[in-house]
Amino acid sequence: MEEDLHHRVSGDSIRRRFLDFYASRGHTVLPSASLVPDDPTVLLTIAGMLQFKPIFLGQVPRQVPRAVTAQRCIRTNDVENVGRTARHHTLFEMLGNFSFGDYFKEEAIPWAWELSTKEFGLPAERLWVSVFEDDDEAFEIWHKKVGVPAERIKRMGKDDNFWTSGVTGPCGPCSEVYFDFQPERGHSDADLNDDTRFLEFYNLVFMEFNTKDDGSLEPLNQKNIDTGLGLERMARILQEVPNNYETDLIRPIIEKTSEIVNVSYDTAVDCSKLNFKVSSRIVGDHLRAIVNLISDGVVPSNTGRGYVPRFLIRRSVRCARWLVKKGGSQGSLKGAILATIAAKAIEMSTNINPDVKDRAPHILEELKREELKFVKTLERGEKFLEQMLVEALLNAKESGNIPCLSSKDAFLLYDTYGFPVEITAEVAEERGVSIDMNGFHTEMENQRRQSQAAHTDVKLSMGNSADLTKNVPNTEFVGYITLSTAAIVEGLIVNGNKVMQVSEGSDADIWLNQTPFYAESGGQIGDHGTLYIPGENQHKVVVEIKDVQKLGNIFVHKGTIREGVLQVGEEVEATVDAKLRQHAKVHHTATHLLQSALKKVLGHETSQVGSLVAFDRLRFDFNFCRLLTDSELAGIERLVNNWVAEAILLQTKVMPLSEAKGAGAIAMFGEKYGEEVRVVEVPGISMELCGGTHVSNTSEIRGFKILSEQGKASGIRRIEAVAGESFMEYINSRDYHMKQLCSTLNVKAEEAKNRVDNLLEELQMSKNEASTLREKIAVHKASVMATQGISVGSSKTVGVLIESMDDTDADSLKKAAEYLVDTLGDPAAVILGSCRGNEKVSLVAAFTPGVVQLGMHAGKFIGPIAEFCGGRGGGKPNFAQAGGRKPENLSSALEKARSEIFLKLSEMESLQS
């Protein structure tokens, strides 16, 4: 009976019964979308309705009239509450039923009540409802049609019960269902926001209005239903446990943690802010999130969505290791801890996301690598943090101020020891110390600016840098519409100092009031070109521009005065090198096409983490966890070249940021955008926020070829490619070299590979024959020197042979040693050395079983001998090899070997007698 009850209310059964309930009412059951959304406006899937947002916004037509899902979601905005409250999570499942212009309040409300009271058996008298204060229709349905007493229906304001999709767009009132844990407190003064008494578990959104530009509401032609029921919350209610963590959705992971740390979760005493129960809950919650994130392709990194699993892993590592220390299981601290616990989270994932179990080896390997990487700096960082906290407490005691960790100390921990500032804040809070977070963010911003300054090489170290930009207007960029314009020289900088003129042969940084030159940004390098002042017969002044950088909104033209003298205030003609600009445009547009192709071939979770757009090539860094296959690379190239061949006209628009994101434009996470943004679209293929220069038609790209694909960092891959003129040069070069090869081999191009394979096979056969011959020669030499062996010892004589074999290679030296110990018989010890080509020393030691029984070890013996030749080596007791780089010391090493082996064998004989 108990087993049946447990099965009836298990988390898996709640999920299944919810889906079945709405499936029986005409809803199509759709799978959970990835935690990596198609929506560029959000980092991760944060809500059950996210996959349907384009339908609700009218961007795509509906595929089904009504749907039901169990959607995995990730939220980290209130991660500090995880483990400490009863209901906060990073990963959670949102069960939802949706109507796309099909049914509305009259059906949605009674179904929600029927599901709650009949399907799940919740006592009707313990359910409360909230409605939007002006939504009389919902109130009437709940009260008159469903039968909820008026005193258990609360009208609430816009902040609580009105959903919006943005400043403009679809919106509507909400209605929420709450479970009452303390009904004995009655109805008077009941506050639904009281978390100790009420738990909101079901939210119904009635999408019936559109917010216009002027803020007014107009009815939607198609009214929609968007609901969400928290699986973990319903499980807590039905399983009658005090918090979500103790449901069967998370509790088994906590139990696994308890098993490892050797402390019972139930009997642990909560004695501090970071206690056994809180830490165990954090580990249990975070590992569910981590395994799902990595399964969906979110690789831990320092940027973008990859920061989320990295932060969660580091937080889990700290909590898990604290638990191990407190539990006395010190041995577990030597290796990775999380992977063992994560195996339980993976095991429990079958009914949530089967892919997690299929990808278990990759998940566990990634988790282990990330943990061990963090542990290397964790202990050092913890020691530094402890010192900082002690100092903060002492300083506060002396000054009478509130203890506070300085922003510089917090930043040092972040920048040097990899401590997420959130973890530093947690540890500090446990000690009663706050952090100067505003100062920390300032430090981060300073680092970002310094990094940019270093990257752009704008040197302002000499003189007063504040004076350099004083009274200098922003540069107007006209390079989208023209490659040549008249401009006024606003400033000249030489060696970090302002000057009024620069003479021929000097380098200078030049500021203009307007410019057609593109300044390096967004991965695209700066334009090259010329500034000149025309004269009667020839130019009076000629300046060669080799780079353009940005200093705020000032364009810095880095040039060399080739003719004349350039002065502040003069008018110049600024002309961009049109050929090089075209090369950059081609590679930049090809980069956009490459990103779209990667998403199609590898999955939408793949995204850009860095790029370089140069005149001769492009480089694209993206998050991915493995080497791309040849077929994947070929597929990516094929897609890009097909789009090039389709001769698609690009569209460029300037629009509000919110409008661009609403249209689906891809924004780089971490980039800062103004209210107005430039959107570059290849219709049907790519839409990105981008300030770079681009071709007008994809046909200008001419062709695209990947040169290389390789790993750049953990979870980060890099592709280098060429397009346009560089593509043609690459193809022509490859064609030339192929013709040369075919001419040399006297074969057609299609026969070249077979011919090379045959030559390699013949070469290998020749090498094998030569090796065999060398071994025979070495064995022959060994047979001659076998008579030179001497006997050592009186009671038990050992045959010993130590000789040099000139230029014999290492493999042949081994064969010779094997021959000699067989010839000399047991017990015997053979030490041989050689030097091939007066470069590399080879050494080998071979001992028979009788010598090993005496206590001799070939591997331990050969190491010190090899050191004489500037090398090292080792091996088994009976056989070992070594090498070195000092051939001049070979004879000394062999003499050392001779004296050592005589001494050791004599000692062994004495001990045994």
* Separation in Å, CA 157 to CA 135, 179, 201, 633, 761: 10, 20, 19, 54, 81
CB atoms near residue 830 (< 10 Å): 30
Residue 392 corresponds to which tokens in the numbers above?
A: 């903060």
> Does the annotation flag 286 for ligand binding?
no
- Could you tell me if 289 and 282 are in contact, meaning their C-beta atoms sit under 8 angstroms apart? no
Query: How many angstroms separate the CA atoms of 97 and 108, rounded?
Result: 9
Helix axes 421-430, 360-399, angle to 10 degrees: 50
Query: How many angstroms separate the CA atoms of 402 and 392, rounded?
Result: 9
Query: Residue 773: CB partners within 8 Å, gap ≥ 6?
Result: none
Which amino acid does the sequence have at 740?
Q
> Does the annotation flag 694 for ligand binding?
yes
Residue 169, beta-bridge partner list: 211
**Short-list 551, 563, 590, CA closest to 680:** 590
- Could you tell me if 874 and 844 are in contact, meaning their C-beta atoms sit under 8 angstroms apart? no
Residue 263 corresponds to which tokens in the numbers above?
A: 């402390």
Which DSSP symbol is given to 629? P
* Separation in Å, CA 19 to CA 42, 94, 200: 27, 12, 20
At CA 825, angle to CA 824 and CA 829, rounded to 5? 65
3-state secondary structure 55-105: HHCCCCCCCCCEEEEEEEEECCCCHHHCCCCCCCCCEEEEEEEEEECCCCH
Query: How many angstroms separate the CA atoms of 826 and 850, rounded?
Result: 6
Which DSSP symbol is given to 788? G
> Does the annotation flag 187 for ligand binding?
no
Query: How many angstroms separate the CA atoms of 636 and 596, rounded?
Result: 9
Which amino acid does the sequence have at 259?
E
Query: How many angstroms separate the CA atoms of 719 and 609, rounded?
Result: 12
Residue 522 corresponds to which tokens in the numbers above?
A: 């967004």
Q: Contacts for 823-826 with beta carbons within 8 Å, 24 or more apart?
A: 823/782, 823/783, 823/786, 824/786, 824/789, 824/799, 824/848, 825/799, 826/850, 826/851
* Separation in Å, CA 578 to CA 530, 532, 574: 11, 16, 12
φ, ψ for residue 732, nearest 5 deg: -65, -40
To which residue do tokens 């628009």 refer? 653
- Sheet containing strand 608-613, edge to edge, reads 608-613, 618-623, 716-723, 704-713
Which amino acid does the sequence have at 386?
E
Query: How many angstroms separate the CA atoms of 654 and 175, rounded?
Result: 39
Which DSSP symbol is given to 142? I
Which amino acid does the sequence have at 459?
K
Query: Residue 445: CB partners within 8 Å, gap ≥ 6?
Result: none
At CA 893, angle to CA 889 and CA 895, rounded to 5? 120
> Does the annotation flag 27 for ligand binding?
no
Query: How many angstroms separate the CA atoms of 287 and 264, rounded?
Result: 19
Instruction: Evaluate the omega torsion of the peptide bond into residue 183 and state whether it is cis, within 30 degrees of 0.
Output: no
Residue 847, beta-bridge partner list: 829
Query: Residue 893: CB partners within 8 Å, gap ≥ 6?
Result: 833, 841, 843, 865, 866, 868, 869, 884
3-state secondary structure of 395: helix
Which amino acid does the sequence have at 805?
M
Q: Binding site membership for Zn(2+): which residues?
A: 588, 592, 690, 694
Q: Binding site membership: which residues?
A: 588, 592, 690, 694
